[in-house]
A and B are shown apart, each in its own frame.
Chain A
Amino acid sequence: MIFNIPFIAVAALILIGLYAVIFKRNLIKMVIGITLIESGVNLFLITLGYREGSIAPIYTSSPGGIMALPVPQALTLTSIVIGVAVLALMLSLVIHIYRHYGTLDVRKIGGPEE
């Protein structure tokens, strides 16, 4: 059971993130929701590569004991880098939306075609 806790955390993070994206009306909170989903997926990847009692995969051969899988860590890093780019783009779009409408509430954004 104790080993399932990371997976439960993954499910919780993704569900909370989805909840925030779908039900929150503030654009910044939606962006936070997306980063939560992203953290959940990243945690899932990193959990898959973990072996109990393993050491960091930084040696050419292990000094005894098993090494954790390096591939999921590399995948997670790539995913984090992409996440930073997406976050920066989303926030700059939010800044522009705020400039146009003066609000971050999705119910007040929009309106008739200009």
Chain B
Amino acid sequence: MNVADLIALLLQHSPALIVAVPLLGAFITPLISRLNDKVRNVFVILTLGLTASLVFLLASDVFTGNIHTYIFGSQDLALPVVRILFEVDAMSAFMAIISVILSLVAVIYSWSFMKENTGLDKYYTLILLMTAGMLGMELTGDLFNFFVFLEITSISSAALVAFWTNKAKSVEAGFKYIVISTIGALFILFSIALFYGQYNALNMAMIASAIQYTFLDKIALVLLIAALAMKAGVVPMHMWLPDAYGKAPSSVTLILVGATQASLYGVFRVCFTIYGGAINLTPISVGWILVILGIITMLLGVAMAIIQTDFKRLIAFGAVAEIGYILLGIGTGLVVMLNPEMTATGLAAMKGGIFHIMNDALDVGLLFLVAGAIYYATKETSLNKLGGLARNMKYTTVFFIIGLLAISGMPPMNGFASKLLIYESTYQLNPILSIIAILSSIMLLAVFVKVFHAAFLGPALPKFENVKEVPKSMLIAMGTIATIIIIFGLFPELIINNIVEPAANALVNYGDYIREVIPSFAGGV
């Protein structure tokens, strides 16, 4: 067998392998960690590296316009669809890239960051399980399967949030997170049951092709959006997020960002694919709900960030605000999706929103890693007690400046590229929306400049005299994200044309997604 055949074979089986490799790795990790700690760390990084290369292989093919389906247990798809099905379109591949990058960086970061802790074999097992769960959520084409992966993600992430069990606040945050996400997931299961009772199907494409928009479907839509938005930390259901983000180890927070975005992906998949036609009937309602939620999320996130004194909690509220931008962009796209005069605007808004998913993950992730680095060096997270760190931690300071500029949407960072698209397109819909969005960005800049001043500038404090720069693995992790941020900021067109646009098109042309499974389906734009 030559190399080309092997790659074709890997490509064909990659949707299953992307989930199977981290899952297998997760359960081999406890066995390997009996040998040696270093061997275990290398093994986990290699596992995630293999997963990442599979994701990139799959994505490179999907972004050319193919939709991959993978049927578990059999090669042919018997109708009605009873088998579990993975369906990967450009949007799924886009989200999978984000998740796998975040996990890989988090594991590299953990090498030094978590070195002092015990029970690390369980830590790495949970991280791999969580990665498998997120990737499964993003690749699956089956609603019940989506629920199962959602639960895998929430259980492992709640356990990781409470990983520092000697801290009362961490355990409390973990408990809050598991209660919230379990109730959310149970309501998702309830709405899945509503679908199953009506259409006798669990496959997303099957349901989407058969959906009748009955009263029960509307209840299911409300439950699905509410539960998934709760898991994504949308205001007014964000109360768990600052606790969980703030109290988890920083490397875990990075993956948690990925997990919330996987839930956000669920919202979009439900709105665009499953209810694609329902939005036809009532052209504005769901889109406007997302836009209004986005605006509230943005304003409240920024407003709460201003008054925080804890470093990580402040960034967490910044992360809440960033989710508002994503919702604003994609909601605008949903509002104008069926208005022929504004299709270009809608697509631009969608591109902005989707590009901002990736930028949000990178910017917020980088800031959390910097906060973790500061905690590692000083054992301090309160902004009132920090100061003058720029003298001793030069690289970390540079990374923080990059993150600060990126999150507040300043050129030449990546946040500027996506936020500009969102401003321009929402201005066409309603100028007030874009004014609010720009205002929140400015406030974000103000907040983070304040943080920069409080933590890095100012007189050298005597208690931080012996603070040293953090170890290499943490610098490598932060440097990787910072490099990606700068590259995306310098060449946004490259990313938008090659990755973001196929993803936006995949959401808008939901008919293609359905036709891949049900060839006779006639609807869709």
A and B, direct touch (CB closer than 8 Å): yes
Chain A interface (Cβ within 8 Å of chain B)?
A: 14, 21, 27, 30, 34, 37-38, 41, 44-45, 48, 71-72, 75, 78-79, 82, 85-86, 89-90, 93-94, 96-97, 100-101, 109-110, 113-114
Residue-wise interface mask of B (131-166) relative to A, using a CB-CB cutoff of 8 A (1 in contact, 0 not) = 000000000000010001001000100110010010
Q: Which residue of B lies closest to A90 (CB)?
A: B178
Binds A, one of B11-19, B181-189, B422-430, B438-446: B181-189
Per the bound structure, the CA–CA distance linking A82 and B193 in Å amounts to: 16
**CB atoms of A30 and B186 under 8 A apart:** no
Interface assignment of B175: CB less than 8 Å from any CB of chain A: yes
**Chain A interface main SS type:** helix
Give the residue of B82, B148, B179, B183 whose beta carbon is less than 8 angstroms from that of A82: B148
| Known A21-B179, A75-B202, A90-B178; further 19 A-B contacts with Cβ < 8 A | A14-B190, A34-B179, A34-B186, A37-B186, A45-B189, A72-B193, A72-B196, A75-B192, A75-B193, A89-B159, A90-B179, A93-B158, A93-B175, A96-B165, A97-B168, A101-B168, A113-B169, A113-B310, A114-B169
Nearest 3 CB-CB pairings of A with B: A100-B168, A93-B175, A96-B171
Shortest Cβ distance from residue A4 to the other chain B in the assembled complex, whole angstroms = 14
Contacts known (A82-B151, A93-B174, A93-B178); A114 close to B168, Cβ less than 8 A: yes
Inter-chain contacts of B165 with A (CB < 8 A): 96
Interface assignment of B172: CB less than 8 Å from any CB of chain A: yes
Inter-chain contacts of A41 with B (CB < 8 A): 186, 189-190, 193
Inter-chain contacts of A30 with B (CB < 8 A): 179
**CB atoms of A86 and B183 under 8 A apart:** no
Interface assignment of B197: CB less than 8 Å from any CB of chain A: yes
Shortest Cβ distance from residue A84 to the other chain B in the assembled complex, whole angstroms = 11
- Among B345-384, those with CB < 8 Å from A are 382
**Chain B interface main SS type:** helix
Per the bound structure, the CA–CA distance linking A94 and B172 in Å amounts to: 9
Interface assignment of B167: CB less than 8 Å from any CB of chain A: yes
Interface size on B, residues (CB 8 A): 30
Shortest Cβ distance from residue B398 to the other chain A in the assembled complex, whole angstroms = 29
Chain B interface (Cβ within 8 Å of chain A)?
A: 82, 144, 148, 151, 155, 158-159, 162, 165, 167-169, 171-172, 174-175, 178-179, 182-183, 186, 189-190, 192-193, 196-197, 202, 310, 382
Q: Which residue of B lies closest to A85 (CB)?
A: B155
Contacts known (A78-B148, A86-B182, A113-B310); A27 close to B189, Cβ less than 8 A: no
Give the residue of A14, A27, A34, A100 whose beta carbon is less than 8 angstroms from that of B182: A34
Give the residue of B172, B193, B202 whose beta carbon is less than 8 angstroms from that of A97: B172
**CB atoms of A48 and B159 under 8 A apart:** no
**CB atoms of A93 and B310 under 8 A apart:** no
21 A–B pairs (Cβ distance < 8 Å), ordered by A: A30-B179, A41-B190, A44-B190, A45-B196, A48-B193, A48-B196, A71-B82, A71-B202, A78-B148, A85-B155, A86-B155, A86-B178, A86-B182, A90-B179, A90-B182, A93-B174, A93-B175, A96-B165, A97-B172, A100-B168, A114-B168
**CB atoms of B162 and A93 under 8 A apart:** yes
Q: Which residue of A lies closest to B188 (CB)?
A: A41
